[in-house]
Amino acid sequence: MRAVLQRVSRASVAVEGRVIGEIGAGLMILVCAMQGDGDDAPARLAAKIGKLRIFKDAEGKMNLSLRDVGGAALVVSQFTLAADLRGNRPGFSTAAPPAEGRRLYEAFAQAMRDEGFPVATGEFGADMAVSLVNDGPVTIWMEI
């Protein structure tokens, strides 16, 4: 699985003009299931994200985790993270097929909940409008 994490002071996602998910301080997580991702990938990704020390401590250093700051997660599926950019038009053949992608996306959102985080989500496969205030800015790409 691939993910882009953005430390945010707030974030929301809307479908057809209606907000379907929003959080205050925490992480905006764009996630993509890749071909070959095993059933353990969502839980491993959630555990890794929950422990990342990317929030400021009292001295302004990135020393605290999402758990330490009591943050939430807004999880949005984004198959374009699988983009193959060898040409001028991206290809997405390395993304998991839609049914598998949905299953792993939903499993990841649940794994974040199982880690104890409040989680809001987008709508898999929908045309979404994402709004966020990136705190820092801090943006991190990861793959598990």
Please give the positions annotated as active site. Answer: 78-80
| AA letter at 5 | L
Tokens of 44: 């491993």
CB 120 within 8 A of CB 74: yes
Q: Give the dihedral sign, CA 29/35/39/40.
A: negative
Q: Give the dihedral sign, CA 70/71/77/81.
A: negative
